[in-house]
Structure 1
Amino acid sequence: MDQVALLQISSALLLNVGFIWLVGSWFARRWLGSSGVKRNDVEPALRKLDLVAAGVSAVASVVALYAATAVMGGISLQEAGPMFWMMLSTTHYGHIGCLTILAMMILFAIRVRGGTSGASDTASLLTIVAFAITRASMGHAGENGILSVSLAAEVVHFFSIGLWTGAVIVSAYFVLTPQRVATLALAVTDRYLNVMSRGVMLAVILIIGTGLYNAWHRIGTVEQLTRSSYGLTLLVKIALVACAIGLGGYNKFFGLPAAGRSARGVAVVRRVLQIESVLLLGALAAAAILTSQQPPTAI
C-alpha cells in the first residue's frame, strides 16, 4: 500500500469515527433524558468530547481531500500541494468536500457556544445530517446525482452506521462507566439500555436493507464478490458486522434482562458492548479501504 492510499484510508476512517461519535452522542442525550437523567449532569462532558470529534472529522476531511487530489492527478503526496487549491475551487468533488468541512466547523461552533435548547439540538442534528449527505455524495453513490435512489440508500446506510456504532461506543465508554453507573438508579440504567436497544435495532435493519441494495449495485454477481479485491474486502466487513449483530442479539435477549436486575448485569452488558465496538470499528476500517477501491460494476 503506497502513501497516497494509506492517507486516503486513514483519513476516511478518522472522519467516520468522529461522525459516529457525534451521532451516538446526539441520541444518547435523548435517551438519557427520557430515562430520567438531568441534561446538565452529562452535557459538560459530552460537549467536550463532541468538540474533539467534530475537530477530528473536520481535519480528517481536509486530509482526505488532499489525498483525493493525489489520486485524481495520479501523483505523489508531495506533488499534490500545488494542485490542492485548484481541486477544491474548480471541481464538483472539491466543492462537496468543502461542504463536509463546513458542516463540521458549524457543529464545532455550536458545541463551543454550548446550550441545551431545542434549537441548538435541532441545529446539531441538521448539521450532522448535512455532513452525512455530502459525505455520501462524494462516494460511488453520488455519481448518479443527488436525487438518485442510490445516494438516498447510501445516506441512510451511512447515518444508520453512525447510529449503531455511535450508540455502542458512547454507551460502552461514557454512559455505562462504573463511575457513572454508580450515580444512577438501576431503573434509570435499565430504561436507557432498553430505549438504546430499540434505536440500534432499527439502525441494524436499515443497514442490512441498504447494504444489500448497495452490494447488488456495486458487485453485480457472486463471482465478482469472491474474485475481486473490492468483493473480498466487503466480505470481511460483512463478517465483522455479522459478529457484531450476534453480540447485540446476546445483549438484547440475555444481557439487558440481567442488567435490569443487578449492577453486575450492567457490567456484563458494558463488556459485550466494548467487544462489539471493536468489531464495528474493524468494519469501519474495511469500509474506509473500500473507498480507495473501484467496485466491479464501475470497472
Structure 2
Amino acid sequence: MTMDWLWFGQVTMAALVDVAFAFAVGSALLGAWLDKDGRAVAAPAHVASMRAQRSAVAAAVALLLAQLAWLLYEAAAVTGSTLTDALSAVPTLLAQTHVGHAWAFAFGASVVLLVMTLAPRAGRLRDALLWLAVIAVAAGRAASGHAADAGLASAALGIQTLHVLTTSVWGGLVISAGFAVLPALGTSTARAVLIRVAGQLSSTSLVAVLFVIATGVFGAVRGTGGSLAPLTLSTWGHLLVFKLTLVALAVVLGGLNRFQALPRLRRTASTMDARTFANVLYLEALAITGAFIAAAALAHSMPGAMAMG
C-alpha cells in the first residue's frame, strides 16, 4: 500500500460515499417518523420534517457524485495514470473487474434511492423500493471491498453487507439528527415530538449497534487472521484501533443519552435537558463521522494478516 495522492483521493471519495449513504438512510428514517407530525405548515415539527426530506435528497445526490469521483480515482489507481487519462480506462474497469461490477450495482441502486427520495410522501411501493435500494447499495459497497475476496456467495460478503447496512442506520440516524434535524425541534412547542423521535432514535440505534459490533468483530478477526500482532505491527492495525476508539466513544456518548439524558428529558421536558440531549448527539455524530473516515482508509489498505504474510 502506497499512501500517495491516488490513495488519499480514493479514501476521501470512499469516506464521502459512506457518509452520504448513511446521511440518506438516517434522513429517510427520520422523515418517515416525522411525516404525520410535520405535514401541516403550521405544525411544530414541519421544519424538522422538511429538513429530513431535503437532507435525504441532498445526501442521495452527494452519494451519486462521490461514487463517480471514486470510480475515476479507482481507474487512475489501476492504470497508474492521471485522472484525466484514467477516463478512457473506466469502461474496461466496469466491464472486466469485480470492483467495476460492484460499483455499477451500487450506483444503479443509488439512482433508485435518489428517485425515491424525490417521490411524493411515503407510500407502500415507494417505501419498499427505497429500502430495497438501500440494501442493494449496502451490498454493492460490501462487494467492492476485501469481503468479496471470499466470493460473491460467501458468508464474509453477507456479513459485511449487514455491517454496512447497520452501520449506515446507526451512523445515519445520529449524523442526520445531530447535524440537521433535531436542532429544528428545539422549540418548546415541538418538545413532545422531540421526546418521541429521540426515543425512536435511541432504540433503533441500540439494535443497530448490536449488529454493528457483532459483524465488526467478525471482520476484525478475519482481517487480523486471529492474531493480535497485526494491530500493533501494521498500518491496517493502527487504523483499526483508531476506528474502534472512535466507535467506542460514539457508543459511550449514545449510552449517556439513552440512560441519562433521555430519561431526564422525559421527566422534565425542559429546554436545558433537550439541549443536553442534542449536544451529546452532536458529539456522537462527530465521532461517527471520524469512524466513517477511518473505515474508508481501512477498506483501501491491505488487511493486517495479509500485510504480515
TM-score by length of 1: 0.92
Q: In 2, are the aligned partners of 1:241 and 1:280 still within 8 Å (CA)?
A: yes
Which of 60, 66, 76 is 1:54 aligned to?
Answer: 60
1:191 is the counterpart of 2:199: no
Residue 15 of structure 2 corresponds to which residue in structure 1? 13
For residues 131 and 137 of structure 2, the distance between their equivalents in structure 1, rounded to whole angstroms, comes to 10
Shift of 1:174: 3.1
| Aligned counterpart for 2:186 among listed residues 181, 185, 188 | 181
Alpha-carbon distance in 1 for matches of 2:255, 2:137: 30
Match of 1:275 in 2: 283
Cα distance, 1:279 vs structure 2: 0.8
Task: Tell me how far apart the structure 2 counterparts of residues 245 and 238 of structure 1 sit (CA, whole Å).
Answer: 10
Of 292, 296, 299 in structure 2, the residue corresponding to residue 291 of structure 1 is 299
Using the TM superposition, give the Cα deviation of residue 133 of structure 1 relative to its aligned residue in structure 2, in angstroms. 0.5
Aligned equivalent of 2:43: none
SS in 2 for 1:147: coil
Q: Distance in 1 between matches of 2:177 and 2:56?
A: 14
Q: Are residues 272 and 43 of structure 1, via their aligned partners in 2, closer, same or farther at CA, if it must alter by over 3 Å?
A: closer
* Partner residue, 2:142: 136
- Write out aligned runs for 1:1-299 (5 A): 1-32=3-34, 37-39=37-39, 41=46, 43-177=49-183, 179-182=184-187, 184-220=189-225, 221-260=227-266, 261=268, 262-299=270-307
* Per-residue deviation, 1:156: 1.2
Return the alpha-carbon distance in structure 1 between the equivalents of residues 188 and 28 of structure 2: 21
- Aligned residues of 2:27 and 2:176 also touching (Cα < 8 A): yes
User: In the alignment, is the contact (CA less than 8 A) between 2:119 and 2:126 conserved in 1?
Assistant: no
Task: Sort the Cα spacing of 1:39 and 1:127 in 2 relative to 1 into closer, same or farther, 3 A.
Answer: farther
Structure 1 position 39, deviation (Å): 4.9
- Deviation track 1:79-136 (CA, whole Å, cap 9, x = no partner) reads 4222122212232321221121111112222223333212111111111111001110
Cα contact 2:22–2:171 (8 A) shared by 1: yes
- State the alpha-carbon separation in 1 of the partners of residues 245 and 39 from structure 2: 37
Matched-pair identity in %: 29
Structure 1 contact 163–203 (Cα < 8 Å) conserved: yes
**Mapped partners of 1:236, 1:281: distance in 2:** 13
Per-residue displacement from partner, 1:243-287 (whole Å, max 9, x unpaired)? 111111111111101222112101111001111111111111111
Structure 2 CA distance for aligned equivalents of residues 91 and 275 of structure 1: 40
**Does the CA-based 8 Å contact 1:103-1:131 persist in structure 2?**
yes
Larger mean CA deviation between 100-109 and 278-287 belongs to 100-109
Structure 2: distance between partners of 1:71 and 1:59? 19
1:234–1:286: 8 Å Cα contact kept in structure 2?
A: yes
Shift of 1:228: 0.3
Mark the CA change 1:114 to 1:122 in structure 2 (over 3 Å): closer, same or farther. Answer: same
Q: Deviations over 1:131-155 (max 9, x none)?
A: 0011101100112222211111111
Letter paired with 1:209:
A
Q: Deviations over 1:24-61 (max 9, x none)?
A: 1122134335xx62456355433322221111111111
Deviates more, 1:54-63 or 1:230-239: 54-63
- Rounded to whole Å, the distance in 2 between the matches of 1:99 and 1:69 is 17
Amino acid corresponding to residue 249 of structure 1 in structure 2 = G
Quote how far apart the aligned CAs of 1:185 are: 4.3
CA contact (8 A) 2:27 2:56 kept: yes
> CA distance change for structure 1 residues 195 and 45 in 2, over 3 Å: closer, same or farther?
closer
